[in-house]
Structure 1
Amino acid sequence: MTLSPTPRSTIKRGKKRAVTERSALHEVLDAGLVCHLAVVVDGAPVVLPTGYGRDGDTLYLHGSTGARTLREAEGGVPVSVAVTLLDGIVYARSLFNHSMNYRCAVVHGTAVPVLDPETKTHALKVLTEHLSPGSWDYARQPTARELAATAVLALDLTEASVKIRSGPPGDDDEDVAESTAWAGVLPIRTSYGEPEPCPRLTGDTALPEHVSGRR
């Protein structure tokens, strides 16, 4: 399936970097861990970093019920969500052509509050398993009080765009011929470090496989 651009989601700058396959949208969202939710509060834009999880073509967001931005987003106003993955710094022969290699997804729409208890629990499982796979069945389940204190929003992925840049710098021919400056890509890779146990753990608490396996 392909994306169906709308006036809001049509990429105008850098059109050659636009990717229209819906699978590319899913791949970017699945690879990221933090999204940025944009919403207008009191007439001014606010951008909130938050956790998320994807289930099919639905993006789930969550936060405290006391968060003003989430309360505004629940009110049926337009919102936008962005996820960006930085893959490398692109060094060119000219400063003008310096760039970044990246994968970026932007979603537009109206977020819907998830109120049904069963659906809300499912959404929180999706969120948990996206950030920390294996944790939902390992740690204590949310209590009724914790569920009541947590706001969950669902955002349809119908209106979205994807941009990807990869490869070497796009230097001008004259710079390639005349410049002696080094040019290329400095890759950026995200990796997990050694797990750091909580100081309040008891001595016989083993490191679970779903944590150790991510190293």
Structure 2
Amino acid sequence: MSQTDAYPVSERNKVRRLHERGRYDRESVHAILDAAMICHIAYVIDGQPYCTPTAFWREGEHLYWHGSSASRMLRSQKPGLPVCLTVTHLDSLVLARCGFNHSVDYRSAMCFGTAHIIDDPAEKARALDSMINRFYPGRAAELRQSSAQELKATMLVGMQIEQASGKIRSKGVADEEEDYALPIYAARFPVRQVIGAAEPCPRMPEGVAYPPGLAGFIPDRRLDEVMLESFRTTYGD
């Protein structure tokens, strides 16, 4: 693996516990990020730690999120604020033959960088359209444009990924060899977040067609699969 294929490893992003689960290659980290819609952003303001859940999206090596211009967290990032952005997918519950070996299968990513406010009106409008298209391909062109007041009320934050690491567990039940003969129930329970059937707005005019960009939003499809598919449709990565 070349240096450009992986994020640099330091004390900040090195996976210490169960290091064999660690992933530093961009392909693995990006796949975890792109299959998600919600992240958690950790930061410190005046010595007090905070962690904020929010929708986010990736464009190349940059992550973006948005919120209200009145947000204390976002306003504090205007001059540049070190943050840690994390994403987790819970894939299964694992019941073993002893409490110590109970676990979960998961995919997670942790990204480090310096968050900053994006004030340029043109870049802000472009990025907010990209947010819509990232989740719902082609939808931004179908919408009423945001007003100047709506754009003013929205704050956009960007962060270049300086370092990142992923961590994956996918092995299911893993007991001590001598425990497999014990008459104790053990299993993996898959956990999936799935798309439900659309519930059209009751005030929608008659004759409005289902947008082609939502073709992937099929009931009972896994959300992470739909998000990854939407990302690739929009960006082609």
Q: TM-score, normalised by structure 1?
A: 0.93
Q: Distance in 1 between matches of 2:21 and 2:143?
A: 41
* Partner secondary structure for residue 131 of structure 2: helix
2:174 corresponds to 1:175: no
Shift of 1:212: 4.7
Conservation of the 8 A alpha-carbon contact between 1:90 and 1:169: yes
Select the residue among 51, 56, 63 that pairs with 1:52. 56
Q: Distance in 2 between matches of 1:176 and 1:137?
A: 57
Alignment of 1:1-215 (within 5 A): 1-177=5-181, 179-215=182-218
Comparing 131-140 and 90-99, the one that deviates more = 131-140
* Partner secondary structure for residue 113 of structure 2: strand
Comparing 179-188 and 45-54, the one that deviates more = 179-188
Letter in 2 for 1:141: Q
In structure 2, the gaps of 5 or more residues are 219-237
Structure 1 residues 37-94: Cα deviation after superposition (integer angstroms, max 9, x where no partner): 1122342211111111110010011111111111122332211111111111111111
Comparing 124-133 and 9-18, the one that deviates more = 124-133
Conservation of the 8 A alpha-carbon contact between 1:52 and 1:130: no
Q: TM-score, normalised by structure 2?
A: 0.85
Letter in 1 for 2:163: E
Shift of 1:125: 2.2
Q: Distance in 1 between matches of 2:193 and 2:81?
A: 34
**Percent identity (aligned):** 39
Q: Distance in 1 between matches of 2:104 and 2:79?
A: 36
Q: Distance in 1 between matches of 2:126 and 2:150?
A: 15
Query: How many residue pairs align between the two structures?
Result: 214
Q: Distance in 1 between matches of 2:75 and 2:90?
A: 30
In structure 1, the gaps of 5 or more residues are none
Structure 1 residues 79-130: Cα deviation after superposition (integer angstroms, max 9, x where no partner): 1111111111111111111111111011111112112222212221222122
Q: Distance in 2 between matches of 1:72 and 1:14?
A: 35
* Partner secondary structure for residue 141 of structure 2: coil
Conservation of the 8 A alpha-carbon contact between 2:74 and 2:117: no
Conservation of the 8 A alpha-carbon contact between 1:39 and 1:72: no
